[in-house]
Structure formats: structure tokens, C-alpha cells
């Protein structure tokens, strides 16, 4: 059955996830949806120094928004900030250096940020695909620490600030790869069996979909969404999936095309007219499971994921304050 899921996902991707799929889908887009002035609204974008994160930050800056770039590498982040300011003329671009694989660091950042800034929109874009099992200094598997726990802590830590804002939104950048994974709460840190970085990443992305659905139920005053950017030509794809990149490079979306739905979810009035908690592709809600794929999870597994992440979160919060 895993062979079936992977094959269906790849064939589907050849049609929909490439540049051609975007060009076809974009024929039904309403340009006015994103031709908006967001001056006075504050946006936080993680992983904003390159790829889809930078493309999103740049487009928000063009529309007058205040943009907080959360990046791990100070040198690359400063270059990205300068590029955004120069190209958009928007001076309200702020830089924060945070390693999303370090939960204590995220908590320290979030506590400080809440005391100094307002926030209307959080965009969880930062992620990694490490192809060999690596542990962080806290003993966490690195993909899980960054993609799942990092996203969980950043979001839950900033929920109190978002709840004070008008038209608050949280957008998480997932992947269509999650379609081949069923939530597995018994091995969140990939300790059992052979390690496959691509499948671990896909599992993390399934976890992000579940998180979004659960947050939407818990926080009714915030609009949550999760999305698939399609297959885009980004530095992360080139470094983490070199074979895939070589095979598909002539068909990959541009970074701006990959970022289009993130931008739409972040700024358009139409996005929040749809229910909170949905999974989007090319400005449309799409199913989170392939037909006959058996990737649905029982509610108790989804509840267990939230419980485990909250336990981790509180543990590292205490350590950061201590």
C-alpha cells in the first residue's frame, strides 16, 4: 500500500505540483485578492532568508506590511533583509535570529517578542530535511525538533499575542508529501527501523496538518490554515533532494509561485471566509488524504500528538525561564 500511495502522489504531482500546474490553476485566480494594502499589520515569517519564506516576506513588504524575519543564519538573514528593503522601499523590516530546532531559544524569543511587538499574522515556513538521523543539543531528532516541535512552540507561544489582534491568522507551510504518511505517534523521533529523511519529513508535514486542525478547534478567534506550495525551485530542494531536483528542475515552480498561496492566505479577505483548519493548494482547499490511502488517524492519536508536544513545550519553557 505504501508503494501505491507514493506512486499516486508522484503522478498527481507531475500534473498539479509543477510550474505547469500553477500556470493552469492561476487562470482562475482573482488578482484583486492580493492587491491589498496591509500597512499597519504585522507579519512574522520564519525561515525568511531564502526560498518561499523570503518570497513571501518580500511580497508582504511590497504591500506595506511590517515584516519580522525569523532566521537561523545571521549573515544570510542580513543579506535577505537588505534585499527586501531595497526592492520594496519598505523600512519596516525587522530581523530576529532564532534556531527553530532549539525549543528554549524559541521560548525566549517569543516571550521577548510579546512584550515588544504586536502580531496579526504568523507564517510558519521554516523547516528542514536532514537525510541522516541527527540529534540536537537537547537530544531531539533534528527534523522533528524543527518541523514539528519548533512549529508547535512558536505557534502556541504567540497565540496569546495573536488573540489580541484583529483578523489574526496562522499559516503553516506543509508539503504534498504528507499525503503518503499516516500520523505515527508511536515513533515521533524516528528511533525505530531504517531512517529515511524524505519520509521523516513527510511525517512531520502530516503532523503539521493535524496541528492546524487541532488549533482551529481550540482557538476560534484565529484563522488557521496549512498549505502545499507545490514543487518549487528553492535552495532547500536543491540541497536536500538533489536527485529529485535534477530530474524535475525544468518543471519546478519559481519561489514566487510557491509562495503565492501563502501570500493569499496571509493578506486576502477571501481566505478567512473559508473555515479555519483547512489544507490549501493554489488558493483552494484540497483533501488531506488520497483516495484508498488509509492515512486517516483515530482521534486518540491526534490527541496524543498534542499531549506529547505540550509536555515537551512546557519542559523547555521551564528550562528557558530557569
Q: Give the contacts of 176 (CB within 8 A, at least 6 positions apart).
A: 9, 12, 13, 17, 228, 230, 281
How far is residue 116's CA from residue 174's CA, in Å, rounded to a whole number?
29
Query: What is the number of other CB atoms lying within 10 angstroms of the CB of residue 97?
Result: 14
Rg over alpha carbons for the chain, rounded to the nearest Å, is 18
Which residue is catalytic, options 17, 22, 201, 294? 201
Q: In what order do the strands lie in the sheet with 42-46?
A: 93-97, 66-71, 42-46, 121-124, 168-173, 222-227, 278-281, 284-285
Run of H or E including 267 = helix 255-267
Question: Is there a catalytic annotation at residue 4?
Answer: no
Q: Report whether 59 contacts 263 (CB < 8 A).
A: yes
Query: What is the number of other CB atoms lying within 10 angstroms of the CB of residue 25?
Result: 18
How far is residue 253's CA from residue 19's CA, in Å, rounded to a whole number?
4
Grid cell digits, residue 173: 507551510
**Torsion angle of the four alpha carbons 68, 241, 153, 163, in this order, in degrees rounded to the nearest 10:** 50
DSSP string, 42-76: EEEEESTTSHHHHHHHHHHHHTT-EEEEEES-HHH
Q: Give the contacts of 308 (CB within 8 A, at least 6 positions apart).
A: 185, 188
Catalytic residues, by residue number, are 201
Amino acid at each position: 500500500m505504501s508503494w501505491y500511495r507514493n506512486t499516486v502522489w508522484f503522478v498527481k504531482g507531475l500534473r498539479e505540483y509543477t510550474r505547469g500546474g500553477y500556470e493552469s490553476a492561476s487562470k482562475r485566480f482573482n488578482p484583486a485578492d492580493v492587491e491589498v494594502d496591509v500597512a499597519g499589520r504585522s507579519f512574522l515569517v520564519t525561515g525568511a532568508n531564502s526560498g518561499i519564506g523570503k518570497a513571501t516576506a518580500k511580497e508582504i513588504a511590497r504591500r506595506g506590511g511590517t515584516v519580522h524575519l525569523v532566521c537561523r543564519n545571521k549573515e544570510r538573514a542580513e543579506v535577505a533583509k537588505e534585499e527586501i528593503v531595497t526592492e520594496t522601499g519598505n523600512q519596516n523590516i525587522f530581523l530576529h535570529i532564532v534556531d527553530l530546532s532549539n525549543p528554549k531559544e524559541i521560548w525566549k524569543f517569543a516571550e521577548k517578542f510579546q512584550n515588544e511587538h504586536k502580531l496579526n499574522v504568523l507564517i510558519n515556513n521554516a523547516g528542514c530535511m536532514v537525510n541522516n538521523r541527527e540529534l540536537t543539543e537537547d537530544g531531539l531528532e533534528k527534523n522533528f525538533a524543527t518541523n514539528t516541535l519548533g512549529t508547535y512552540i512558536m505557534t502556541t507561544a504567540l497565540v496569546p499575542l495573536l488573540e489580541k489582534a484583529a483578523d489574526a491568522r496562522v499559516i503553516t507551510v506543509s508539503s504534498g508529501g504528507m499525503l503518503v504518511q499516516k500520523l505515527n505517534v508511536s515513533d515521533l523521533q524516528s528511533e525505530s527501523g531504517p531512517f529515511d529523511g524524505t519520509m521523516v519529513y513527510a511525517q512531520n508535514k502530516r503532523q503539521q496538518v493535524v496541528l492546524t486542525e487541532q488549533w482551529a478547534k481550540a482557538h476560534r478567534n484565529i484563522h488557521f490554515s496549512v498549505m502545499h506550495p507545490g514543487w518549487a525551485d528553492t535552495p532547500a530542494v536543491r540541497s536536500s533532494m538533489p536527485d529529485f531536483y535534477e530530474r524535475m528542475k525544468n518543471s519546478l515552480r519559481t519561489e514566487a509561485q510557491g509562495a503565492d498561496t501563502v501570500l493569499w492566505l496571509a493578506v486576502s479577505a477571501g481566505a478567512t471566509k473559508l473555515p479555519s483548519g483547512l489544507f490549501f493548494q493554489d488558493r483552494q482547499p484540497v483533501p488531506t488524504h488520497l483516495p484508498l490511502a488509509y492515512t486517516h488517524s483515530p482521534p486518540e492519536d491526534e490527541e496524543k500528538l498534542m499531549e506529547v508536544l505540550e509536555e515537551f513545550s512546557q519542559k523547555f519553557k521551564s528550562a528557558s525561564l530557569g
